[in-house]
Amino acid sequence: MSDRTVRVGLVGCGNIGARAHLPTCTQIPEAEVVAVCDIVEERARAAAERSGATAYTDYCQLLEHQDVDVAIIALPNDLHAEASIAAAETGKHVLCEKPMALTLEEADAMIEAAKKTGVKMMVGQTRHFDHRYVSIKEQLDAGMVGRLVFIRHSARQFLPFPPDAWQWDPQRGGGVFLNISIHATDLLRWFFGEDAVEVFAVAKSVREAARAAGSYDHAFITCQFEGGGVGFVEPSWVYPGDFGGTLYAQLDVVGTAGKVQYADKDTNPMLIYTTEKGHELPRYFEFMSTTEYAFDEEIRHFARCILDDQEPAVSLQHARAALEMTLAAQRSAETGQPVQLPLE
């Protein structure tokens, strides 16, 4: 680690690792990729060729790499806690993809590991580094809409992954709740600035992949907060293809003195129509859930936290609270009853 650069070990070279973290870490001056790992050797080698890093197929071997300052954990959700704790125990700082974990017990073990070892640990809730949502948060904190009363948020798409992808598996990915709802619960708690006290959810298994896996792919979630505010979110993987591009994320933030409204048209601001192909919606960003620069900001921020010994903007306690709200929503969907927080 130099005065202004951290050396990164990327654990997981699949979708988010290869398409977001790897290109960011090879482009920003605050990071240098020195090691990459994936259980699929071909993916690890491809990532190594792109970055000049050493390739591994076992993350335990990567964590023994003396030059690694920070491990970025971009594995399936069920491995987040295990890999993050292992990294902390070898003295590596940890940037872990969302969700923090699949259970509160795992989340607590991660918090304890960070506390015990003294390493920096942050969960990659990218909304906190997306200029659009940061701007809205700043306006809310400045009192532009008065006292916050109600937030409505939707995140809707047609998940493009095959039926055997881990995202569908409730034991590995957690379905739409742990993959997409975690963005929404994070956003609600961040904007309200307080804990939720009750969560109620209705969920469906619509697509064949969800039904076969026994997971949910569409949900409606209502969250009541300490100060009386209410958040309502709709995370979905069932909206047909082209719809998701222009209307993926919609947000209404209502206060006693006004409101902020946002629709995610930045992803597809252009419509092209030809008689041969019909309508086309060109994608301007790699991901619908956020923008590429959000990963730049996220990794730059975490690097500065390490270099300047600062606390990460997304605390582990906040990430745990967002996970708790999401797990409460899942429990409510399964039982048909409101769920009180904190969870027992």
User: What is the pLDDT, as a whole number, of residue 226?
Assistant: 97
53: DSSP letter:
P
Count of Cβ atoms closer than 10 Å to residue 266 Cβ:
14
User: What is the pLDDT, as a whole number, of residue 9?
Assistant: 98
Q: Does 342 sit behind a cis peptide bond, omega within 30 degrees of 0 on the bond before it?
A: yes
User: What is the pLDDT, as a whole number, of residue 270?
Assistant: 67
**pLDDT, tens only, 223-274:** 999 999 999 999 999 987 655 455 578 899 999 999 999 887 655 566 777 8
Tokens 């769920």 sit on residue: 339
218-225 and 93-97: which strand pairing? unpaired
- Which residues, given as ranges, of the chain have pLDDT below 70? 1-2, 241-247, 265-270, 281-289
Residue 44 has which token pair?
A: 């690890």
User: What is the pLDDT, as a whole number, of residue 240?
Assistant: 79
313: DSSP letter:
S
* Chain centroid, CA 27 distance in Å: 21
Domains present along the chain, CATH in parentheses: 6-124 (3.40.50.720), 128-292+322-340 (3.30.360.10)
User: What is the pLDDT, as a whole number, of residue 247?
Assistant: 57
How is 215-240 classified by DSSP, letter by letter? --SEEEEEEEETTS-EEEEEEESBS-
Count of Cβ atoms closer than 10 Å to residue 289 Cβ:
20
User: What is the pLDDT, as a whole number, of residue 287?
Assistant: 67
Q: Does 99 sit behind a cis peptide bond, omega within 30 degrees of 0 on the bond before it?
A: yes
Whether 24 and 296 have beta carbons less than 8 Å apart is answered as: yes
Residue 6's SS3 state is: strand
Whether 283 and 267 have beta carbons less than 8 Å apart is answered as: yes
Q: What pTM value is reported for the model?
A: 0.93
User: What is the pLDDT, as a whole number, of residue 246?
Assistant: 52
204: DSSP letter:
E
How is 144-183 classified by DSSP, letter by letter? TTSSEEEEEEEEE-B--S-TTSGGG-TTTT-HHIIIIIHH
User: Taking each helix axis from N to C terminus, what angle separates 316-335 and 104-117, rounded to the nearest 10 degrees?
Assistant: 170
**pLDDT, tens only, 269-296:** 667 778 887 877 666 566 666 777 899 9
Residues in a beta bridge with 291: none
User: What is the pLDDT, as a whole number, of residue 244?
Assistant: 47
Which residues fall within 8 angstroms of residue 15, CB to CB, at 6 or more apart?
Answer: none
User: What is the pLDDT, as a whole number, of residue 243?
Assistant: 55
User: What is the pLDDT, as a whole number, of residue 36?
Assistant: 98
Going by C-alpha positions, the residue among 27, 34, 30, 28 that lies closest to residue 53 is: 34
